[in-house]
Amino acid sequence: MKSESSELSSNTLGSQVGTAPHMEGRVAGFSVKLDNFDGPFDLLLQLISRHKMDITEVAIASVTDEFIAHIRALEGTEEGWKLDQATEFLVVAATLLDLKAARLLPSGEVDDEADLALLEARDLLFARLLQYRAFKEIAAILADRIAIQERTFARSVALDPIFAALLPEVLIGVTPERFAAIANRVLTPKMAPTLSTEHLHLPMVSVTAEANHVIASLRRSKSLTFRALVADAANTLVVVARFLALLELYKEGQIRFEQVMALGELQVTWTGAESGEISVSDEFDRPPENREEEKSGA
Amino acid sequence: MERDLERSVEAILMVVEEPVSEVVLAQIIERPTEEIQAALKILQEQYEAENRGFALKQVSGGWRFYSHPDLAPLVEKFVLDGQQAKLTQAALETLAVIAYRQPISRARVSAIRGVNVEAVMKTLVNRGLVEECGVEHETGAVLYRTTNYFLERIGLNSVSDLPALAPFLPDVDGLDEVIASLTE
Amino acid sequence: MERDLERSVEAILMVVEEPVSEVVLAQIIERPTEEIQAALKILQEQYEAENRGFALKQVSGGWRFYSHPDLAPLVEKFVLDGQQAKLTQAALETLAVIAYRQPISRARVSAIRGVNVEAVMKTLVNRGLVEECGVEHETGAVLYRTTNYFLERIGLNSVSDLPALAPFLPDVDGLDEVIASLTE
């Protein structure tokens, strides 16, 4: 990466990232006023992502307050406030918060593996923030390209009858089944009738990932109650995922359940190998639908 | 001398399916018919002078781009090439709509496909896969259906032998109309 | 002599219904692909220099004639393409991720976007911008990629013509997997 070489001002760096034309429509017009920073939110992100500003010095609560004020102000205008703007802010703020949490960890003594993982996560979160921003800017470029392309129309005319008469026998080239699949796709209304849940910002929960967590905890402690195993679960989805993971592990013969009385404390004991890979089925992580139509041809 | 007018004529004629008359061009471009005529003449002569592979021709009251007659053998070769036998994706999708919703008007097909299907429909008719079959009562729009040749090419005895659509689709019949009414 | 080749290209492009590749043109005209490429470039530049109302463009693996974007307001009066619904910001960003990371599973897209992308992915598939393309070996997750229609919509010849991600995302190599492993 070329820009790392000299102490360019943050402005030049900013323009290199391609801020100006592409960033419109982002948290557009949202500025923050903090003790140590006063300017567009976007610039703040840039400074953080360029290591020009330490995330630990940013008061995320203040940023959030200001954003809420910004949204409120928009409510009064003709445009109204934008759901996608709010969503975007939430995503960015959540990442910032994660990043900050990771940064604030005492980096001196590392005695727990979980701490180590968190420290590694710090850079990953940072990278994730960068990546998130990158695709946002790319999206703006795509939108521009689509807008330009929509202004040109392709010549697509039927062949002159003289030439058409020469055409060889038409080749439909698909089976009736595939033909029906095409009809299915084309006749399905274009607007997906699903209500978008994007704005809920549901974190992804994977049974496979939770299984790994459960395996690690049980190997460390040998025996734990279910209550303890889910004590740090962020939400119900995680609890469900860990429960499913336990069922899978039980099926694999890696653990033993003990429950003294019905609805009582469930004790989980590790009976599997001390180390090594344990494969847990990912059937829960796969999307439920399966499409009958394979990919559409050229 | 005025490139603007000629550019406009070129742009329109490049993408239209049917020959366009001078009067229609004059209306759209909002210039007198005489000027349009003059522009068409200039373009026609330019292409000829520049020895282009295409020409502007007036056919049955309208103007349209054609490949130059000199190059007909080459165009024939292109047409005869195996590649042209295969239906394009757009043609296949349009054919699917007609097969499962026949009889159906072009406007309706357009509404379902979400794009202009004029050229594609014409291709399907030219290729003998689709044919006209009367008009819609209320609108007077021409209706289309698939032909026996279509059945032959896809290897079925009758339209009723087409595989059934996904069970949830018949319910959206009404939806088609709503979408169509929005777009028509 | 040279003009002959360009004329031939012009004549064929005048009758194609879909973009035609340089290779097909080379086969029909019986000249090396490089010569065809050169001729196409010459024509493209000529039309631009002469300020024509049409343009030659390479989109989605092939060449064809288009009306010039300047004249869109006029052409729109003729070609009533069902106006394409605008893509939302979420759809655009999801599309960007898929375009640059294809083939990619939905979970992976979700991980990068930081939100659930199920509904958006469904919309993109329905719109024909994205399609399934097999499954991931280890996880069995369905993989997605962008379609030729996507290329047509953004007016690019191939996915490799997308602007480089590098200036936007320095030193990203290998990061994806780590991030994904963290989130999945």
Report the distance separating Cα A183 and Cα A290, nearest Å: 17
Phi, psi values for residue A294, rounded to 5°: -75, 180
What element of type H or E holds B162? Answer: none
Is the model's pLDDT at C137 over the cut of 80? yes
Nearest CA in chain A to B122: A158
Residue A163 and residue B79 in contact, taking contact as beta carbons nearer than 8 Å: yes
Tell me if the bond preceding C19 is cis, omega within 30° of 0. no
Q: Which of C67, C111, C123 sits opposite A152 (nearest CB)?
A: C67
pLDDT at B129: 93
CB contact under 8 A, C184 and A204: yes
Partners of A297 on chain B (C-beta within 8 Å) are: 89
CA-nearest of C93, C105, C163 to A92 is C93
Nearest CA in chain C to A130: C169
pLDDT digits (tens, 9 = 90+) for B51-65: 999 999 988 789 999
Tell me if the bond preceding C103 is cis, omega within 30° of 0. yes
CB contact under 8 A, C148 and A298: yes
pLDDT digits (tens, 9 = 90+) for B110-167: 888 877 788 889 889 988 899 999 998 888 899 999 999 999 888 888 888 888 886 5
Partners of A190 on chain B (C-beta within 8 Å) are: 114, 179
What ranges make up the beta strands (E) of chain B?
54-59, 62-67, 104-105, 130-135, 142-146
CA-nearest of A264, A267, A265 to A255 is A267
Shortest Cα distance, chain C CAs vs residue B145, angstroms: 22
Is the model's pLDDT at B1 over the cut of 60? no
- ipTM of the complex as predicted: 0.73
Report the distance separating Cα A95 and Cα A87, nearest Å: 12
Is the model's pLDDT at C86 over the cut of 90? no
More confident: A83 or C110: C110
Residue-by-residue DSSP string for chain A:
-GGGGS---HHHHHHHHTHHHH-TTSSTT-EEE-SS-EEEHHHHHHHHHTTSS-GGGS-HHHHHHHHHHHHHHHHHSSS---HHHHHHHHHHHHHHHHHHHHHHS--S---SHHHHHHHHHHHHHHHHHHHHHHHHHHHHHHHHHHHHHTT--B---PPPHHHHTTPPPPB--S-HHHHHHHHHHHHS-SS--SPP-GGG-PPP--HHHHHHHHHHHHHHHSEEEHHHHTTT-SSHHHHHHHHHHHHHHHHTT-EEEEESSTTSPEEEEE-S-SSS------GGGS-S---SS-----
Provide the 8-state DSSP code for B86: B
pLDDT at A135: 79
Per-residue pLDDT of chain A (298 residues; tens, 9 = 90+): 333 333 323 332 233 333 333 333 344 567 777 777 777 777 777 676 666 666 666 666 677 677 677 767 776 776 665 666 666 666 666 666 666 666 665 544 444 555 555 545 555 565 666 677 777 778 888 888 888 888 888 888 877 777 877 777 788 888 888 888 888 888 876 544 344 444 444 456 777 788 888 888 888 888 888 888 888 777 777 777 788 788 888 877 888 888 776 667 778 888 888 777 777 666 666 654 443 443 433 3
Is the model's pLDDT at B179 over the cut of 60? no
CB contact under 8 A, C7 and B83: no
Provide the 8-state DSSP code for C20: B
* Burial status of residue A113 (CB atoms within 10 A of its CB: 0-12, 13-18, 19 or more): exposed
CB contact under 8 A, B161 and A176: yes
Q: Please give the angle made by the CA atoms of A85, A88 and A89, to the nearest 5 degrees.
A: 85
Partners of C68 on chain B (C-beta within 8 Å) are: 7, 11
What is the average per-residue pLDDT within B84-91? 82
CA-nearest of A240, A229, A247, A232 to A205 is A240
pLDDT at A123: 55
